[in-house]
Amino acid sequence: MSAPIHRLCFYTADLKLMTGKSERTCQRILQVIRDCNGLQKHQPITVFHVCDYLGISLEKLLPFVR
């Protein structure tokens, strides 16, 4: 069984650590994810949204979520 999820929300700093891209670029990527999922500004982006958008498994994403 995989490790438990400690945090469901995904932030710019997480994507920055994962991709090595600049903070502004990561903000743009998260905005695209928000738009693709029809999320409003006050709604959080979850690790599941990011996994679906990037096409990677949750197990590969979890080490980057602090």
Residues 57, 51: contact at Cβ < 8 Å?
A: yes
Would you list the domain boundaries of the chain? 12-64
Render pLDDT for 3-56 as a digit per residue (tens, 0 to 9). Answer: 665 789 999 999 999 999 999 999 999 999 999 999 999 999 999 999 999 999
Q: Which residue carries 């980057």 as its tokens?
A: 64
Beta partners for residue 9, in sequence order: 46
pLDDT of amino acid 62: 87
**Residue 51: per-residue pLDDT:** 95
pLDDT at 6: 76
- pLDDT given at position 7: 87
Q: What is the pLDDT of residue 65?
A: 84
